[in-house]
Amino acid sequence: MTRLLTGLLLIGIVGCGENTSSSGDTTARDGITVEASDMTPAPADAAPADMTPLQVPELNVPGNKSETVADNAGKSAADAADDSTAKEQPIETNMGRWKIQGQSVEVYGKVVRLGNMPYKEVVQYNTTSGLFEMTITPALGRPETREGKWDPERKTMRMRRTSGNVAASAVYTQIDKNTVNIEFTIGSDENTAPQTPPPPSPSKRLTPQQVTEALELMIGRWTFHSVETDATGGILGKRVGPTDDAIFEKEKKAFTDGKKRVAKFSKAAKSTKKSGPKPSLVLKGHKGKITAVSWSPDGKQLISCDSGAHDKKLEPLPGTVKVWDLASQKAVRTISDPKIASYSVSWSPDGKRLAIKGGGAFSMDGEQAPGTLSILDAANGKSLAAVEVASGHLFSGEGIFWSPDSKTVAGISGENVIVWDAATGKPVQTLDHADSEDSPLAMCWSSDGNRIAVGSSDAVVQIWDVSTGKKARKLQGPVAIKLGNRSIPLPSFNLLVQSVAWNPKGSLLASSTSSKLTIWNVAKGGPLKKFDFSAKNLAWSPDGSRLAGATQTSLGSIKNASISVGGVNGNWKKFPSHESGVHSLAWSPDGKQLACGGNDRGRGLFQDVPTVKIWNLPAN
């Protein structure tokens, strides 16, 4: 019966965005919806007094290899070819035994696809309601509850989720004594209505023999593999042996130890939150990943944008742009377009205009709609120019950047970097990558507006002359590591330049791959300093004394969840910022504050809450 666990446990940790309906007056301009919002962000704590490096405890959830995996490993190649379930690693294994004979069953197992995450499961029959009640407790996360009805004639169980905010249901079918098939659905259907279904009538309640029959399907050792289905997901479960008390106790201990480690980490994280730096402002309202933040030149407002999300029914939600008044902590303008999936934004240096680049959404037939470039009046949101442009690609996103004189904007469009006239939206220069194998991944202007740095693959940063559209200099990062006399090439994914940032004087350029941060002397064309860590969303302070970037915490599975601030001479200080990742950074015009967009954990795993945080970072 509870072979439903795989599907339902995965349902329990898959997050969806909330409904994005909001109050306020809306007007449509050039296909873009502009909304005046009255949303107030959550209050924030005081600013940090000290910026000292913080160490997050390592979280290693225990788990041992499945006995079934070991059994399969001993098969010959011919046997494996004949056994369809041996063609891939199981997504889950578990073992169950009676908790109370004929009344309830206790199961311990692990979800292989989640790093062998241990879990505990208890199922019992409620004689009053006539329904089976299931509680699933993962080592990492909140317990989930299920409710189901067993059909003894058809040997099927229909279950639905009764906790959390995502509707989910599953149908379990017994194929034979040792095989079950599960099809589960996320979203609304007849079995996922919010109200609790009425219990069966007394005449339809199960006999003790039927209860035992259903619960006996949980006893023993089981493995589960994914199978194709028309539903959201399908799983085939195989009973591969009887319960072994020694292995059962081992699995139970793995779960107990995992819970202890999680509790220890949570305690340490709470201690860090209390003693570490805290943001001066926290702005809430976005539904998707916050892809860019940009300050107004007077430091009184902030613009941010996101890449969209999905609602509870897994329907796509378009990306949004929000303009925040920092004094009131309210979004004074919200901009969205149902045809746009992701945005990037930038406030012009003269403070008069906003540049918004949107990436077109994919349709059901796989076609991508055109992207857009819009120039708006910063004071009233009126459209000044709007043109169709090619969307950025997967690795670059939709970055858009003003030239220092506020006359042009530049961004990655398709496989090239395009410079557009801000008054008309017409392209005035193309930095052509068509004859190169390197796609542009990151870019930034020099402070004099004459050059653009473009990061690409193979640890390469190209310096382009904007007036001629020609390459002026190539900065080549390391592509191999030396071990003794040997030189070992680095994997290609370690050589992607994920961020570039020019210092205000234009003499230094910072770039980072996924393995190394480099500060270049641009005039000499060589590295000035190298640091053995990576950083995304690099940003120099206005006086050029400090460099900030999103860096990895010591919690292995969560990358770029911290912010590191340092300089040419090092002295890096790290502090945790967003629990599930920092996606954008920007210094305030006076260099005393740093804004960042990222995700914090919500009520369930992967149910993240996007927030914009502002940190007070005085120079001393």
8 Å CB contact between 186 and 167: yes
Rg of the chain in Å (alpha carbons)? 28
The reported pLDDT for the residue numbered 293 is: 95
Length of the chain: 620
Which is more confidently placed, 414 or 118? 118
> What mean pLDDT do residues 97-116 have?
89
Q: Worst-scoring range by mean pLDDT, 122-126, 360-364, 538-542?
A: 360-364
DSSP conformation letters of 221-253: EEEEEEE--SSSEEEEEEEEE---HHHHHHHHH
| Residue 414 pLDDT exceeds 70 | yes
305's CB contacts (< 8 A; 6+ apart) are 290, 291, 292, 319, 320, 321, 322, 343, 344, 345, 356
Beta bridge pairs of residue 616: 593
Per-residue model confidence as pLDDT tens digits over 524-572: 999 999 998 888 999 999 999 999 999 875 444 445 688 999 988 888 9
The reported pLDDT for the residue numbered 166 is: 63
> What mean pLDDT do residues 252-263 have?
86
How many Cα neighbours within 13 Å face the side chain of 559? 7
8 Å CB contact between 406 and 420: no
Which is more confidently placed, 283 or 415? 283
Which is more confidently placed, 188 or 143? 143
8 Å CB contact between 582 and 594: no
> What mean pLDDT do residues 508-526 have?
92
d(CA 309, CA 331): 19
| Residue 592 pLDDT exceeds 90 | yes
Which is more confidently placed, 3 or 54? 3
Read off the tokens for 451. 């050059």
The reported pLDDT for the residue numbered 112 is: 83
Per-residue model confidence as pLDDT tens digits over 37-49: 333 333 333 333 3
CATH class of the 31-54+276-616 domain in this structure: mainly beta
| Residue 442 pLDDT exceeds 60 | yes
Helix (H) / strand (E) containing 333 = strand 330-336
3-class DSSP string for 405-456? CCCEEEEEECCEEEEEECCCCCEEEEECCCCCCCCCCEEEECCCCCEEEEEC
The reported pLDDT for the residue numbered 8 is: 39
Which is more confidently placed, 85 or 293? 293
Helix (H) / strand (E) containing 274 = helix 245-275
Predicted confidence band of residue 211 (pLDDT cuts 50, 70, 90): very high
| Residue 433 pLDDT exceeds 60 | yes
Sheet-wide strand order for 570-576: 536-540, 547-551, 562-567, 570-576
The reported pLDDT for the residue numbered 120 is: 94
**Highest-confidence segment of 115-119, 311-315, 375-379:** 375-379
Predicted confidence band of residue 501 (pLDDT cuts 50, 70, 90): very high
> From its phi and psi, is residue 200 left (phi > 0), alpha (psi between -120 and 50) or beta?
beta
| pLDDT cut 90: percent of the chain above it | 42
Which is more confidently placed, 606 or 488? 488
Predicted confidence band of residue 337 (pLDDT cuts 50, 70, 90): confident
Q: Worst-scoring range by mean pLDDT, 106-110, 494-498, 584-588?
A: 494-498
The reported pLDDT for the residue numbered 553 is: 58
The reported pLDDT for the residue numbered 493 is: 75
> What mean pLDDT do residues 477-495 have?
79
Per-residue model confidence as pLDDT tens digits over 271-325: 555 556 789 999 999 988 899 999 999 999 999 999 888 776 677 788 899 999 9
Predicted confidence band of residue 604 (pLDDT cuts 50, 70, 90): low
| Residue 216 pLDDT exceeds 60 | yes
For the chain, domain boundaries? 2-7+59-263, 31-54+276-616
Residue from 21, 2, 54, 15 nearest 573 by CA = 54
Read off the tokens for 141. 């996360």
> 214 in helix, strand or coil?
helix
- Does the global pTM surpass 0.75? no
| Residue 25 pLDDT exceeds 50 | no
> What mean pLDDT do residues 21-38 have?
38
The reported pLDDT for the residue numbered 606 is: 52
